[in-house]
Structure 1
Amino acid sequence: MSGLALRESGKRGLGWLAGRAFAQCSYANCLFVLAHMRCGSTALSNVICSRPDISGYGETHVRHDGPDAPGRLAVNGLRRGGWRVSAPYQFDKILHSRLDRTAPPAFYDARAIFVVRQPEATIPSIVRLFAKLGRNEYRTQAEAADYYIERVGALAAMWHRFPAERRIGLTHGALLADPDAQLARISRALAIDPPLENTYRSHAASRRGGGGDPYVSARHSRIEPSLEPVAANAPPLDLPPATADEARRVFEQVAALFQQP
């Protein structure tokens, strides 16, 4: 057995043990942000993870592919300093379909906050981020658009799998236009008590190793209201028209789902 396989087997074994040791290691006691890169998910995650009743720090990259995953989530949080043994709930932010594509049925017992951002702002932002990081990924808008279209389409497919009372969706624009109102809306929809407050302390683990935004997160202690230019006023994407149209279509599809009861 290779070293990678041994590590994976060890993680699953620890996850299995944690799942039997801690009540919060079940999907029914999980809260997820399901989104895509560069949509404001780090700031929202920071607000959620600043609560004493929620364990987590941001994006863990745990693969949700079996019943031991909440236990692996706990082990990851313990290793990264985001575990609170007294907290009854666990948090994860999931931005890539490889992490939730084969999620078990119990995954949909969690509470889920869906977040999407218009492609005209998201796609260039992904390219700029990875260039700044010096990473050999998403070097072009075409590569970022492929990711965006796939991920937003996957979010649309997952939306109806969550019970209506355990899901809510919002756009990046709505969150930034009135953060307090959107946090109150999330709290009401998901029965979060006491309600979410627009204040946070950025966890160190959310700023390194892919846990969140490595540049902006630590500069703030709340979600600052602002307005994002509408698509009509944004610079045109450097994409074939059919690709740009598809990116806009999947965004509008998901945004419309969020308006449904």
Structure 2
Amino acid sequence: MNFVPFDEIERKHMPVKRRVKDVVKLSLGAAVASLNHQCRFEQAIFIIAHMRCGSTALSNILCGRPEISGYGESHVTYTSRSSLGVLVVNQARRKEWRPQAPHLFDKILHSRYDAGADVAFFQSRAVFVAREPVETILSIRNLFARIGKGEYSTDAAAAAYYRERIVRLLSMWDRFPQQNRIGLTHRLLTTDPKGQLERISSFLNLSPPLENRYTSPRASTVGGGGDPLTSHRFSEVVANAEASTIRVKRELDIVADELGRLNSLYLAFEDKVTTSP
């Protein structure tokens, strides 16, 4: 059975008021990008991942550095350099913009934000993250049930998001030059945070290296900026069992063949990020 991605449904039914707001924001972003030296893709840092993979904790660690300006997921659509101006506007509105920082940061968890990325986008540096499908889907279901939103109200809906996004990550990985990308899994991040942060520090040329500690900015816990369930409860990356928001472990209500496909996609991601130079 064919399914219509949630992102496509959302675009088709986007209120006119929001569309006008987006046009105004993009125009302002273009003006900011033309004046702001930060708005260059070769200086930008992105986490490219999916929901519920530990990206909020990693974002908080990165954004705790004075040379990085950001807070989490800003929901910017990257189609041109003007998009970086929109990113600055979003950061400034949330009082998280650092004018002197050489690097702008954003986290991208949905394909509507990076599907139309132009060639310049791939001059940035990207940190890819993914998590095993069963844990991810259970965590997505739990999140949206607890915050009272109707999205992803079935295992199949969450699985469809995961499948589409992992396929996108695999495609995006191949489009970045080898020197501009690094990847890790949720398991590696939670079992070896020090080692993974050292890898990322070397990749981003950060000295001293990143440390496993952070303070959660308010912007990372509200308005879709990050994890509203656990981010404020912790100040470091902790083992998966400690941070898990999954209340009940259970089997997924999806067909076995689909779960097999999801596992294969995850293993393909894991293979790419652990075997690439």
Same fold by TM-score, threshold 0.5 exceeded? yes
Aligned equivalents of 2:228 and 2:145: distance in 1? 13
- Structure 1 residue matching 2:175: 3-state secondary structure: coil
Kindly tell me the number of residue pairs found equivalent between the two proteins. Answer: 256
Name 1:80's counterpart in structure 2. 94
Q: Residue 202 of structure 1 aligns to which amino acid in structure 2?
A: S
Aligned equivalents of 1:178 and 1:249: distance in 2? 24
The alpha-carbon deviation at position 52 of structure 1 amounts to: 0.8
Name 1:248's counterpart in structure 2. 263
2:234 alignment partner, one of 198, 220, 235: 220
1:170-209 map, 5 Å? 170-209=184-223
1:50-69 map, 5 Å? 50-69=64-83
The alpha-carbon deviation at position 239 of structure 1 amounts to: 1.1
The alpha-carbon deviation at position 235 of structure 1 amounts to: 4.5
Name 2:12's counterpart in structure 1. none
The alpha-carbon deviation at position 194 of structure 1 amounts to: 2.9
2:30 alignment partner, one of 16, 22, 43: 16
Q: Residue 193 of structure 1 aligns to which amino acid in structure 2?
A: S
Cα displacement string for residues 137-192 of structure 1 (whole angstroms, at most 9, x for unaligned residues): 10111100000000011000010211111110000000000111100011112323
Aligned equivalents of 1:207 and 1:160: distance in 2? 31
Say which is worse superposed, 81-90 or 219-228, in terms of deviation: 219-228
Change (3 A) 1:214 1:239: same
Change (3 A) 1:53 1:239: same
CA contact (8 A) 2:144 2:153 kept: yes
Cα displacement string for residues 65-118 of structure 1 (whole angstroms, at most 9, x for unaligned residues): 222111110011000111011111110000000110001111101110000000
2:143 alignment partner, one of 129, 135, 141: 129
Name 2:164's counterpart in structure 1. 150
Q: Residue 78 of structure 2 aligns to which amino acid in structure 1?
A: H
Unaligned runs of 5+ in 2: 1-15
Aligned equivalents of 2:19 and 2:218: distance in 1? 29
Name 2:41's counterpart in structure 1. 27
Structure 2 residue 266 is the aligned partner of structure 1 residue 239: no
Aligned equivalents of 1:227 and 1:128: distance in 2? 15
Aligned equivalents of 1:245 and 1:103: distance in 2? 30
Name 1:109's counterpart in structure 2. 123
Cα displacement string for residues 184-213 of structure 1 (whole angstroms, at most 9, x for unaligned residues): 011112323332111111010000010000
The alpha-carbon deviation at position 31 of structure 1 amounts to: 0.5
The alpha-carbon deviation at position 55 of structure 1 amounts to: 0.6
Aligned equivalents of 1:127 and 1:18: distance in 2? 38
Query: TM-score, length-normalised on structure 2?
Result: 0.89
CA contact (8 A) 2:71 2:105 kept: yes
CA contact (8 A) 2:143 2:229 kept: no
After TM superposition, what 4+ stretches of structure 1 lie above 6 angstroms from structure 2?
none
Name 1:48's counterpart in structure 2. 62
Unaligned runs of 5+ in 1: none
Aligned equivalents of 1:147 and 1:186: distance in 2? 27
Q: Residue 92 of structure 1 aligns to which amino acid in structure 2?
A: D
- Structure 2 residue matching 1:66: 3-state secondary structure: coil
CA contact (8 A) 1:176 1:227 kept: no
The alpha-carbon deviation at position 237 of structure 1 amounts to: 2.3
- Structure 2 residue matching 1:92: 3-state secondary structure: strand
CA contact (8 A) 1:142 1:239 kept: yes
Q: Residue 131 of structure 2 aligns to which amino acid in structure 1?
A: R
CA-based RMSD of the aligned residues comes to 1.6
